[in-house]
Chains A and B, each alone.
Chain A
Amino acid sequence: MQNPAPKRRVIHPWPLRLMHWLNAFAIIMMIGSGWQIYDASPLFGFTFPPLVTIGAWLGAAIAWHLAFMWLLAINGLIYVIWTLASGHYRKFFPLSLSGVWRDLRAALRFDLKHDRGVYNAVQKLLYLGVLFAGLVVVLSGLAIWKPVQLWFFCNLFGGYFTARYVHFFAMSAIAAFFAIHLILVALVPRTLPPMITGGRQES
C-alpha cells in the first residue's frame, strides 16, 4: 500500500477569508464616512482632513455610513454565528495574563515564533479586544441612530451625548487595531497570502 500524501489543512477556511475582506471593506467605508460625520460637529479640538474622509458632504457621508452599517453588522453577526458553530472561537483560548506578558516580551524582542494558523497570546488578546470594540461600536451606533426607539441602547451608554463619545472611542480602538494589524502584516508578510488563498499547513 502506498503512503498517502501528507494531509494538508487550510489555515483560513473560505468563509473566514470572505468575511475578513468584506469586513475590511465595511470598516474602511464606515470609518471614512464616520470621520466626515464627526467633522460636522467635532467632539474634540480637531477635525479629519477631507483627504481621509468619505462622502462629498455631510448628507453623502451619512448615506454611506447608513448604507454600509448593514454590511458591517450582518457580516459581523454571521461571523459570530460561524465562529461559534464551527468551533473556530477555540483558537482564541486559553488566554492567560502570564501568556500575554510572555508573548508580548518575546514580540518586542522580535523573538516570537510564528506558527501559521496558531494565535499567540498577544494576538488572542487583540482579536478578542477588537471583537469587543466591534460590538460596542455597533451598539453605540444604534444608540445614536435611534435614541428614542432603541432607548435601551441609549441608556446603556449613558444617554445620547455620551453614546457619541463611546462610539468615537470604540472607532479609535478599531482604527488602532487596524494600524497595528497592517504594521504586523508588513513585518511578517508571509501571513498575508493565506488570508487570500487559504494557505496550506502540514498536519
Chain B
Amino acid sequence: MTPLDRRGLLMRALALGAVAPLAACNYEDPAHPDLADRFLHMMSAWNDRVQAALFNPHTLAPTFRPDQITHPPRFNAYYDISQVVTVDPATYQLELGGQIQNKTPWTLAALDGLPQTQQITRLVCVEGWRVIGQWGGVPLGEFLRHVGADTTCRYVSFRCADNYYSSIDMASALHPQTILATSFLGAPLTPPFGAPVRLRIPTKLGFKNPKSLMQLAVTNVFPGGYWEDQGYNWFSGS
C-alpha cells in the first residue's frame, strides 16, 4: 500500500467517523433516541451544569444608550407574525401554580402596582443575530417574594397564550435584570412582542424570553420547554 493509498483510506475512515453518527442522527426526534442523541443529550446536560456554575448572580448584562436601540424591532416566534395570538389586556389574568403561597391570579393593573424597573439590553437569538431593545416591568425576583414563592425550588416555568412554554433556573429568575415585562420601547407591549406580559431575561438567549404569559409556576420538577424539548440547550445562558 502506498502512503497515498493509506492517506485515502484514512481520510475516508475519518470522513465516515465524522458522518456515520450523523446519518443516524435523530436529534430532532427525541422520542426515538439513538447513540448520537444520547451523546448529545449527555453533553447538553453537562453544559447545563457548567453554565449554572458559571452564572454569577451579580454579573449584569450590558446596558445600552437609547440611540443604540434597534429600529424597527425584530419579530421572532415559532410561527409567522400573521399568526400572532392577541390577549385582551382588560380581562388578562396571570395564573400562578406550584410552590407559591398566594396563588391569586394577577391582573395587568395589579402588576402595574408593583415596583417597576426599566432596561435597555441586548437580546441575543440562538440563531446568532442580536437586537437592542427597551423593556420595563416588575423584577421577577420581587414578584416571587411578593406572592410567597418558595425560592429554594429549582425552576420557574411559564406557559403562554400561543402554547409556547419554557422554564428557567431559580438563580437566573432572581437575577435583578430578569423582569415580567409589560412595556417595550416606552409603550405597553404589543401582541407580536408578547402583550400583555412577557418574560425579559437578558442573561439568557432570546427563546428563553417567553411572550404573552398565561401561567407561572415554581417547581422542582423539570418543566422543559418548547424548543428545549426538541434539542436546544435548556440553560442557554448568555
Contacts and interface: CB of A to CB of B under 8 A. Distances in A.
Interface of A: 24-25, 28-29, 32, 37-38, 40-41, 54-60, 62-64, 66-67, 70, 146-151, 160-161, 164, 185-186, 189-190, 192-193, 196
- Which A-B residue pairs are the 6 nearest by beta carbons? A67-B43, A41-B128, A59-B231, A60-B27, A189-B3, A40-B127
Contacts of A186: 4, 7
Contact of A189 (B4, B47, B59): B4
Contacts of A66: 43-44, 47, 233
Contacts of A29: 18
A29 B39 CA distance: 14
Given A32-B18, A66-B233, A189-B4, A60 B127 contact: no
B202 A148 contact: yes
Contacts, number: 109
A30 to B, nearest CB: 11
B2 interface: yes
Given A60-B25, A149-B56, A192-B10, 10 more contacts: A59-B27, A59-B227, A62-B233, A67-B39, A67-B40, A146-B54, A148-B238, A149-B59, A149-B237, A189-B7
Contact of B43 (A57, A70, A190): A70
A185 B7 CA distance: 9
B72 interface: no
Nearest to B15: A28
Interface string B4-35: 10110010001001100010011110000000
Nearest to B60: A148
Nearest to B228: A59
A28 B21 CA distance: 13
B41 to A, nearest CB: 8
A197 to B, nearest CB: 10
Interface in B47-63: 47, 51, 54-56, 59-62
B125 interface: yes
B153 interface: no
B3 A54 contact: no
B28 A161 contact: no
Interface of B: 2-4, 6-7, 10, 14, 17-18, 22, 25-28, 39-40, 43-44, 47, 51, 54-56, 59-62, 122, 124-130, 202-203, 227, 230-233, 237-238
A56 B28 contact: yes
B140 to A, nearest CB: 17
A54 B128 contact: no
Nearest to A54: B22
B238 A192 contact: no
Given A41-B127, A146-B54, A160-B124, A28 B18 contact: yes
10 contacts: A40-B128, A56-B25, A59-B28, A60-B25, A60-B27, A148-B59, A149-B54, A149-B59, A161-B130, A189-B7
Contacts of B17: 25
B14 A28 contact: yes
A160 B4 contact: no
B165 to A, nearest CB: 16
